Structure 1
Amino acid sequence: MNTSELESPDRLPAARRRGAGAALMASGGIFFAAEFITAAAWTDPPYSYTYHFISNLGVRGPSTAFGQVMNSPLASVMNSGFFLFGLAALAGVAMLRGLPGRRHWPAIAMAALLAAGGIVLAFFPGSGEVADNGAPDYHFLGAVLGFLSGNVLIILIGRMYRLLGFSRGMGRGLVVAGIIGFVSLVAFGAVLGSGAGLLIGLVERGIIYPFLICFIIVGAALRKRGMVSRCR
């Protein structure tokens, strides 16, 4: 088998493309829907996307950490979103089997770490209690795992643009989104370390929103290409 055959974007069956696309779109959609519903239910005081941590939405409370009050009425909805979004991303990436292993397996590994991070976030809400009793902060570990793996994953997908049948411009855009996520991660650490808390919720969202939005864009592109391939 020659190199051109290995690099052909048509090696993935249309049905598998559509399934992978649907799962990746669901990943981003699940997270954003869970976040919106949970934030809308938090009214006393109103939840702030720019000030509050995302993790606050998963804490029933009342509790306090890093100077923020955590009291989420629909914490179970956000924790369900944490649990499901990573699994959906893993399912989507897994359905891209048929790509060269040197490209596909690293992506599966990152998707598996993202799913693991989401599960840890769901089962260990960031209530701040570990800071008081010295217990391991599993929520923090899950968050870091998700931050890193999600951005690495979207960069890997961007670098597979030709294999997936995307344009070079789209591939570059996905890589840039991952880089933005890592820059935001550094900024998040700086703001958190300073204790100022200025727009920390917004900065945190700069870590994960780019790759979540890209999951939806990639999913839509895969589904569209799968539909076109089926009609040929």
Structure 2
Amino acid sequence: MTRTPASNTSTIIAGVALIAAGILFIIGEAVAAAGWPDDSYSYITNVISDLGVSSPAETNEGIWIHSPAAWAINSGWVINGALTLVAAIVFRRILRASRTGSWVFGLAIAYSAGLCVVATFHNAPAWMLPYHAIGAMVGMGGGNIAMFLTGLLLRKAKGYSLTSLYFTVAGIFGFSCLILTFVGPQDYVGLIERGAAYPFLIAQVVGGAVICRNATQLSVLRSPRSTVSALD
């Protein structure tokens, strides 16, 4: 019976973790949105953060928010951040072998921390908002920059051209949407914010699938005996 090397197993675990991270977040968001009374939550006008307010609270705009199923999205944030961190740790050797990869590794840590802050400090009541905003900027901003840099990193590797293209373009698009949440039309702020969040979630699922498909090759690159020249 052929045994799977431990490095290959951990590579697959990292891929599955990323796939689960993206899917579980979307599920958590859908559950929290469905929990709003009278189907009043709108994916177009309400930001994702509105789903995390577990107790009735007033925003800076004087709007009262209460998300009865806030536990779903708050859990989704924490789980997504934790699973992303797991994948980053598994690939730390490959990432830290180059300057660009080191930035990706650091931003992955920042992304995970940002999501935990977002899940702990909500956008209402008002005193929580500054902490929530910092967490959201670090999370979405760091995530989109990491996605863009990963795309640049993958351009140097054989067989990853389409993945590289998606990550690069999605990173630019996502970060642009993040800026638009502040300067764009607020009537569509929920839709615009999802333009900053969803491309990264898709990248997690796509990236996880690519990792699982190329587990053997990536496991070799993760080996201490490898020069990691493919991504250097």
TM-score by length of 1: 0.82
4+ aligned runs moved over 3 Å, structure 1? 66-69, 162-166, 227-230
1:179 and 1:68, CA in 2 relative to 1: closer, same or farther beyond 3 A? farther
SS of the residue corresponding to residue 98 of structure 1 reads: helix
Task: Tell me the CA shift for residue 51 of structure 1.
Answer: 0.9
Residue in structure 2 matched with residue 214 of structure 1 by the alignment: 203
Distance across 2 between alignment mates of 1:68 and 1:138: 19
1:69 and 1:202, CA in 2 relative to 1: closer, same or farther beyond 3 A? farther
Q: Is the 8 A contact 1:113 1:149 kept in 2?
A: yes
Task: Tell me the CA shift for residue 163 of structure 1.
Answer: 6.4
Distance across 1 between alignment mates of 2:103 and 2:125: 33
Q: Of residues 22, 25, 50 in structure 1, which corresponds to 2:44?
A: 50
Instruction: Please list every run of 5 or more consecutive structure 2 residues that lacks an aligned counterpart in the other structure.
Output: 1-5, 220-232
Task: Tell me the CA shift for residue 117 of structure 1.
Answer: 0.4
1:170 and 1:123, CA in 2 relative to 1: closer, same or farther beyond 3 A? same
SS of the residue corresponding to residue 58 of structure 2 reads: strand
Q: Of residues 170, 173, 194 in structure 2, which corresponds to 1:180?
A: 173
Residue in structure 2 matched with residue 32 of structure 1 by the alignment: 26
Map 1:22-171 → 2, pairs under 5 A: 22-65=16-59, 66=61, 68-99=63-94, 101-102=97-98, 103-130=100-127, 137-161=130-154, 166-171=159-164
Residue in structure 2 matched with residue 4 of structure 1 by the alignment: none
Deviations 1:193-224 (A, max 9, x none): xxx62111000111111111111101011111
1:155 and 1:73, CA in 2 relative to 1: closer, same or farther beyond 3 A? same
Distance across 2 between alignment mates of 1:31 and 1:153: 18
Residue in structure 1 matched with residue 190 of structure 2 by the alignment: 201
**How many residue pairs were aligned?**
211
Q: Which moved more, 1:170-179 or 1:97-106?
A: 97-106
Distance across 1 between alignment mates of 2:88 and 2:129: 31
TM-score by length of 2: 0.82
Identity of aligned residues (%): 31
1:180 and 1:74, CA in 2 relative to 1: closer, same or farther beyond 3 A? same
One-letter code aligned to 2:123: G
Distance across 1 between alignment mates of 2:209 and 2:35: 30
Q: Is the 8 A contact 1:14 1:225 kept in 2?
A: no
Distance across 1 between alignment mates of 2:7 and 2:74: 34
Does residue 21 (structure 1) correspond to residue 15 (structure 2)? The answer is yes
SS of the residue corresponding to residue 198 of structure 1 reads: helix
Q: Is the 8 A contact 1:18 1:227 kept in 2?
A: no
